[in-house]
Amino acid sequence: MQAETQIRDPKGEWRPDPLPAPSPIFNGPWKPVGLLKHLWGVLWPYNLIYAAMAFVCWLYLTPSLETTAHFGIGWIVLLYLRNVVLLVLVAGALHLRLYIKQAQGIRFKYTDKRLADNDRKFTFGNQTRDNIFWSLVSGCLIWTGYEALTLWAFSNHIIPYLDMRQHPIYAVLLTLAVVYFRYFHFYFIHRLIHWKPLYKTCHYLHHRNINVGPWSGLSMHPIEHLFYFSCVFFNWIVPSSPFHAIFNLLHAGISPAVGHAGFHRMVINGDTSVPSDSYFHYLHHRLFTVNFGVEVFPLDWWLKTQHDGSPESLARIRGRTAAS
C-alpha cells in the first residue's frame, strides 16, 4: 500500500509506486497458480460486483422476454430509468465522497487541481454539470437503446440464445470472456475514435476532461456512445443469455466511473484502502496518444502505445512523436 506521505512534483502531480505494468500472465509460460492469481485480480473486486449487479438486474429489473418481444415505450423507459439510477448510485456516490465531502483530501489523488467550475469549454460552464448531462442524457439513452434492441432480438430468436441452466460451466466462462472482450473492444474502438476526423467530430468532448472525475467516464458525444456501446455486438454473435448482454452493457456503463475517479485508492479507514482508479488511463487523459486500453490485457505493450508515467516512457513517446 502507498505510504501516507506522498511526494508531488512542482505541478502538483503524484504518481503511484509501482508504475503500471502488463500482467505477467501474458509473458508465459503459464503456470496454474499464476493463472489463478491473474484471473482473481481481473475479477476482484469490481468485475464481480458488476456481474452481481447485472444478475440482479436480469432477475428483478428487466422485463420478461415475452414482454420485450414487442417494442413498447413503457418497458424501454423503465430500462432507461434503471440505468440512470445505477449510474447515479455509482458515479454519484464516488463524486459525493471524493469531491463534495472530500473525505480523504488529495491523498492518492493524481493531481492537486480541482474539477473546473468556471470554464467555458464545458457545457453549462461547469465540468461536473457537463459530465452529468452527457452521461445521463446521451450515455444512458444509447446504452438503453442497445439493450432494448438486444432483448427484442433475443425474444424473437434473431440472435443465438443460451439457456444458462443447461450450460452452467459455459455460462461462467462466457462471463469471463465478456470482460476480456470488453477490454479488446475498448482498445480498438478507442484507437479508431482517435483518428483525426472522428476525434474532431466526437472524441474531443470526452478529452475536455484532462483532470478527470467519476462523472467524466461516460461523458461522451452521442456518436462516441454509439461506437462505445457496440461492445454488445459480441452477444449478437456468440451464443449468450440476456444476463451476459446486460452484464456487457452494464460493465461499459458503470466501470468508467471507477476508472475515472481521479484517485488511485479510496481510503476506507486509516491505512485501509481499496483501488479506485487507473493511473494508466489517467495518463491517457494527460497525454492523449498513449494507453488506449488497460494493463490486464496488454494490447498497449504489444502495439507499442503504452506509457507507464516514467521519464523513460515520456522520452520514448516524445522521440516517436518527433520522428513522425
Residues of the chain by 3-state class (helix, strand, coil), percent to 5: 60, 5, 35
Is residue 101 in a domain? Answer: yes
Other C-beta atoms closer than 10 Å to the C-beta of 16 total 17
**Strands, E assignment, the chain:** 265-269, 272-275
Is residue 250 in a domain? Answer: yes
Domain that holds residue 138: 42-277
Cell, residue 30: 503459464
- Number of domains observed in the structure of the chain: 1
pLDDT over 60 (residue 39): yes
Alpha-carbon distance of 145 to 149, in angstroms, equals: 6
Is residue 288 in a domain? Answer: no
Alpha-carbon distance of 262 to 27, in angstroms, equals: 30
Is residue 226 in a domain? Answer: yes
In terms of average pLDDT, the best of 8-12, 38-42, 302-306, 316-320 is 302-306
Q: Mean pLDDT across the chain, nearest whole number?
A: 93
Is residue 73 in a domain? Answer: yes
Q: What is the pLDDT of residues 142-184, one digit of tens each?
A: 999 999 999 999 999 999 999 999 999 999 999 999 999 999 9
Is residue 249 in a domain? Answer: yes
| Report field, pTM of the whole predicted structure over 0.85 | yes
Helix, strand or coil, per DSSP, at residue 112: coil
Residue 275 DSSP class? E
Q: What is the pLDDT of residues 181-239, one digit of tens each?
A: 999 999 999 999 999 999 999 999 999 999 999 999 999 999 999 999 999 999 999 99
Is residue 154 in a domain? Answer: yes
- Percent of the chain topping pLDDT 90: 81
Q: Which of 215, 18, 193 has the alpha carbon at shortest distance from 99? A: 215
Q: What is the pLDDT of residues 237-262, one digit of tens each?
A: 999 999 999 999 999 999 999 999 99
pLDDT over 60 (residue 5): no
Residue type, 288: F
Residue type, 286: R
CA angle 58, 61, 67 (to 5 degrees): 85
Is residue 291 in a domain? Answer: no
pLDDT over 80 (residue 264): yes
Other C-beta atoms closer than 10 Å to the C-beta of 226 total 15
Identify the residue with better confidence: 280 or 4: 280
